[in-house]
Amino acid sequence: MTTKPAPGRLALAGATFLAGLILLSLPSFGGQVAKKPEEFAKGMQALKTEDWKSAADLFQKSLDKAEEDGSLTSVYGRTYEEYLPRFYLGLALYRQGACAEAVKQWDLSDQQGPVQKSEKYTSLLLYREECQKRLRSKLPIKMQAQPSSTKIVKPPIPH
């Protein structure tokens, strides 16, 4: 004689199975998260508040302590970013209208390599191209508002 499991038990078993699948699909940060200078996390916070000068200073201090390597690092609680302070230093300089300095930082970031494996690389290429155009044309840099996400950022569209 075969008995059917109660519907509640099936639902619980299904939910437990799905929760396990979700946990397995999440990135595992155990042992892979690098401890980086606290200035990097503070610089990321300064970017969010559009404090470009402080962000640039903090990313420079972070670079003075640890060179860019692209490893994951905690910036706040369980929020992780790739350690790309040179890329973000270029972004903060760009936001201040300092295109020549921003291009220099992005060139160095590109040469060092970790940013090339990052989703930030598309942003680097777009911003650098925009700054190079502005420098060639001697046009003033027209800033756009900081995007809500720093994952993929795009330069302003020239008018």
pLDDT tens, residue by residue, 17-74: 544 444 344 444 444 667 899 999 999 999 999 999 999 999 999 999 999 999 999 8
Question: Which residue range(s) make up the domain with 64?
Answer: 38-137
In-domain check, residue 144 = no
User: In sequence order, what DSSP letters do the residues of the chain get, joined into one string?
Assistant: ---PPPHHHHHHHHHHHHHHHHHHHSPP-TTTPPP--HHHHHHHHHHHTT-HHHHHHHHHHHHHHS-----EEEEETTEEEE--HHHHHHHHHHHTT-HHHHHHHHHHHHHH-GGGGSTTHHHHHHHHHHHHHHHHHTPPP---PPPS-SSS--PPPP-
For strands 79-82 and 72-76, give the pairing.
Answer: antiparallel
Write phi, then psi, for 149 (nearest 5 degrees). Answer: -120, 140
In-domain check, residue 10 = no
In-domain check, residue 151 = no
In-domain check, residue 123 = yes
Check whether 157 has a pLDDT greater than 70.
no
Q: Which residue has the higher pLDDT, 146 or 121?
A: 121
Q: What is the domain-level CATH number for residue 98? A: 1.25.40.10
If one counts the domains in the chain, the total is 1
